[in-house]
Amino acid sequence: MAANSSTGSATEPPGLETQWREIDNLNQQQLRAGDSWYLLDKRWYDQWKEYVHTGDQNSSSYPGKIDNTELYEDLDSYHLKERLTENEDFILVPAEAWHKLLSWYDMMDDQPPLERKVVDLPSTVKVEVYPVEVYLCLSSNLESTVSARFSRADKIHAIHQKIRQHFNVSETAESRLWMRSTDTSSERLRNLNMTVLDTCLSSGMTVIMEIRNADGTWPTSRPQIMRNSADEDSYQGPPGVCGLTNLGNTCFMNSALQCLSNTPPLTEYFLKNSYLEELNFTNPLGMKGEIAEAYADVIKQMWSGRHYSVVPRVFKTKVGHFASQFLGYQQHDSQELLSFLLDGLHEDLNRVKKKEYIELRDADGRPDQEVAEEAWHNHLRRNDSVIVDTFHGLFKSTLVCPECNKVSVTFDPFCYLSVPLPVSKERVMEVFYVSLDPTAKPTQYRLIVPKAGRVIDLCAALSQATGIPPNQMAVADVFNHRFYRIYQTDEFLSCILDRDDIFVYQLSSGCVDQDGEEVVMAIYMRERSHYRDYGSGSNSYGTSLFGHPLLMSMPRAQCTREALYQLLLKRLARYVRPLDPSEEVEEEEEDEEELYKAQTNGVSDDEGEEDSEEAGPSKKEEETQESSQNEEQNNCQSEASPSSEGEERAEEEESSSEPDRGSSTEEGQSACGSTDTNSQDATDGDQSAGAEPSGKEEEDEEEPASCAQANKRLPGRRHYTERRKKALFTMQAVNSNGTTERGMGEADGSFSFSSQPYIAIDWDPDMKKKYYNENEAEKYIKHQSMDVPHQQTTVQLQECIELFTTVETLEEENPWYCPTCKKHQLATKILDLWSLPEVLIIHLKRFSYTKYSREKLDTIVEFPLRDLDFSGFLLKKTVNSTEPPCRYDLIAVSNHYGGLRDGHYTSYARNKDNGQWYYFDDSKVTYAREEQIVTSAAYLLFYQRQDKIRHPTIPPPIPSSTQPENHVSSQTCDGMDGAASCVSMETD
């Protein structure tokens, strides 16, 4: 992968307000076919927005270089991750906005820009985030394939040329293309001027080039693919026991289609060709009969008994053509697809050719029976189709005004029941607790907290498990070795997602603001490169974050480099080996050039180099300055740390030891030299992050003279030979991303912070390898709460139906206009079931969206497979024996596995001919047992009224070894809907 050519070309950006105004204006551009837009990591963009809105160029929220790392599957191929979601994982910016941001902030090394084209698709213009990725090969060698990406607006001719170029096929050679969607199905691509979209070519498919033989014949009449095409013609299996190929995240569609396919009255309607007489080509609300015809084609193939799996490409294209939300190959909701499909089939097959206007009347105290019959009659005057016959029922809606008590009664038709699930008021969260005890490993806890609670509630729950007061805890989201967010105690827990890595740090005292006596610092671990990054316009060394960050507090008055260094040594003691006494003092030589190298390493805060330092003072000058040196010596001692007696003796014998330069002279000169990891010479104001004192608790009076003598031995140039104390690491103030270094030292050795302090511990690679134990640093232990399995909530389906019929108050966003009060009111509302259809679809509302949270409910809903009795829920009571019974049997289930943003759909269905249950997972079909059907994944339930169920006359087939191996087997795909890659290239 070529490096990003723009790296290192960042220019001076304009003011922050100007930046925001320019980018915001550019982002308002309309999409135009052919234009380029760019993907930008959402987290980086949010950080940038926070930065420009602060109005402070020195804000700690400075985002650093553009970093799209989280959008890539890996950093070798820079292949985009599957199922990324706009405005959650990335945002799209137009080319001009991208180039401005790139010129202002540059981009991480080697990362390519994620440019995507705007394409003109049916009914919409959109940015094509995921181009179609297909495999190319020659018919002479089907095993040798190469992947290539094409826009849906590209013509097949572009694919033809790509194959010629890659496989070195002569331009004069006569060839033809085949499109393979399954291992048993290939179709000829005859028109090279058709687009990729029009040919229904989708990701995962293979395009095969066949070259004419020299004798004028073609190698095959159809490319041989794994199994002879005659096998498909000779196969005879149970009708309806047929898979559906995943065209790329189309499992949601396959699941809904399998459920409808196994709905007997609807399937028989199409198999008997009854739809041909009722196609409505003039309905303005319909789709000119195209959806009905495409659906009929799929059903006929599935029930022919001649296919292992059907490829619903034409159906998918038709759906996308009439409902642009289903265009492309992103994951969708099976219930939304089902709702669209039932409505589309209804309008395409509506027997009412011209809908009349009907004025609705209020109940006005009339009997329910009369009002209900009138409502149903009016409904049939405008809507009459096989969908109404099969799926439509009627419920009673009662609204009561809270002010005037006006009662409004209406009867409305429904096609399915969307029933709520009992929502728990509690939430299970997993966190890592980091104790103040440096020897204790982080501990993972599983906590139960209020779902609508705040961060302080999380701390309180953890306090019960640890005994640590909640006010001594700091909660943070750790991402990519840095703090993505440090939470305030009053923030809602809903902003913490289940996938976030939450760390809770014990502080030495209560977490206070920056004006208090304690300051809370964020500590990052960084490794320095061996080489400087000259390409970035500076001589600083490149750094990379590693390990887990820390949050810790210390008295503001004691915020000095030495105090922080000693505190960090204690906190890191579990996985950082201390220096041996023999290693703590070493002899080094540094000349002026080495001094310069050390001081440009981003760890020195020199205010300037003094000419007076070029030579050490004479002995006479030392004597006249003795008092001032002793005063500075005391300052050095105030920050000194104890060391071994052997070291003290060694320093005294050599007479070359020195106190740490904790303060500077009035002229800015240090009384004695200081050292850091690189043993650089220190000048006025140098608060080197790695500087340490000589290690003595007490200094004798001769030591200043010793320092002077050491300096005196090197006249003419600043070249010192000294014994200096060695530091494990250096420290540097950085921004919140740990990428940009900031000033942090004051002349007196203390720190001053204008905002949340972020400190980076910088490790030399050799020192890190020698003293830092990475394996130990990553270790953690699990609290016993993690061993307790999370108990899934179990409810009965009847409870969900009761919730559906419970009185509720309308939300502020959806008030009711009271005709008596003449204003909108938050009325109370109750829904009652009046009449039920032949096939009742129950939608379990697993996806919960509130102002506090967005989540998927994994509650197990126990639903009966037989004898679901609705007599207790129907408001309309049976008055005579001619009324249909209220008992239902289950015939199909649509399942959803996974979470909010991704997942996989499958289905269970009972074959109408043989009564056997099957499990449909895209192209795979397996036998199913009844005890497998009730799971926490159940999403849509299809029930048929018992009096309409036809008992099977054909016994279930006995599995035979002569059946295709993958047709009915126990093997299934992985759970998530990367099923496109799992299904599209496999044997059906």
In sequence order, the 6+-apart residues with CB closer than 8 A to the CB of 735 are: 59, 60, 61, 62, 64, 742, 758
**Inter-residue contact 154 to 33 (CB < 8 Å):** no
Q: Spell out the residues 6+ positions from residue 2 whose beta carbon is closer than 8 angstroms to its own.
A: 112
Which residue type does 666 have? E
136 three-state secondary structure: strand
Closest CA to 218 of 172, 164, 179, 175: 175
Kindly report the number of other CB atoms within 10 A of residue 987's CB atom.
16
Q: Are 928 and 908 in contact (CB under 8 A)?
A: yes
Please give the structure tokens belonging to residue 806.
């419970």
Lookup: tokens for 593: 């050039």
DSSP assignment letter at 113: P
Marked catalytic residue, from 160, 896, 904, 967: 904
DSSP state of 953: S
Region of 863 please: left (phi>0), alpha (psi -120 to 50) or beta: beta
Three-class secondary structure of residue 315 per DSSP:
helix
Its sign, for the CA torsion 852, 857, 861, 865, is positive
For 681-751, strand residue ranges (E) read 720-725, 730-734, 741-742
Residue 251: active-site member: yes
Query: Considering only CA atoms, which of 651, 671, 665, 664 is closest in space to residue 711?
Result: 671
Whose structure tokens read 């402070």? 56
**Which string of DSSP letters, residue by residue, matches 555-601?**
EGGG-BHHHHHHHHHHHTTTTBPPPPGGGSEEEEEE-HHHHHHHHTS
Q: Determine the straight-line distance between the first and last CA of the chain, rounded to whole angstroms.
A: 36
User: What DSSP element (H or E) covers 295?
Assistant: helix 290-302
Q: Which of 642, 681, 680, 639 is nearest to 662 (CA)?
A: 639
Cα–Cα distance, 826 to 839 (Å, whole number): 34
Catalytic residue flag (residue 904): yes
Three-state SS for 918?
strand
Q: Say if residues 190 and 121 touch (Cβ distance below 8 Å).
A: no
Catalytic residue among 242, 251, 636, 886: 251
3-state helix, strand, coil in the chain (%, to 5): 25, 25, 45
DSSP symbols for 777-802: HT--EE-GGGTS--PPPEEEHHHHHH
DSSP H helical segments within 749-839, as ranges?
Answer: 765-771, 774-777, 797-804
Phi, psi at 217, each rounded to 5° = -95, 165
* H helix and E strand count, the chain: 23, 42
Dig out the tokens for 65 from the structure: 């270089």
d(CA 445, CA 422): 26
Beta carbons within 8 Å of 212's beta carbon, 6+ residues apart: 173, 174, 175, 176, 218
On whether the CB atoms of residues 980 and 938 are closer than 8 A, the answer is no
- Cα separation, 492 vs 633, in Å, equals 52
Most distant CA pair in the chain, distance: 124
Which residues are designated catalytic? 251, 904
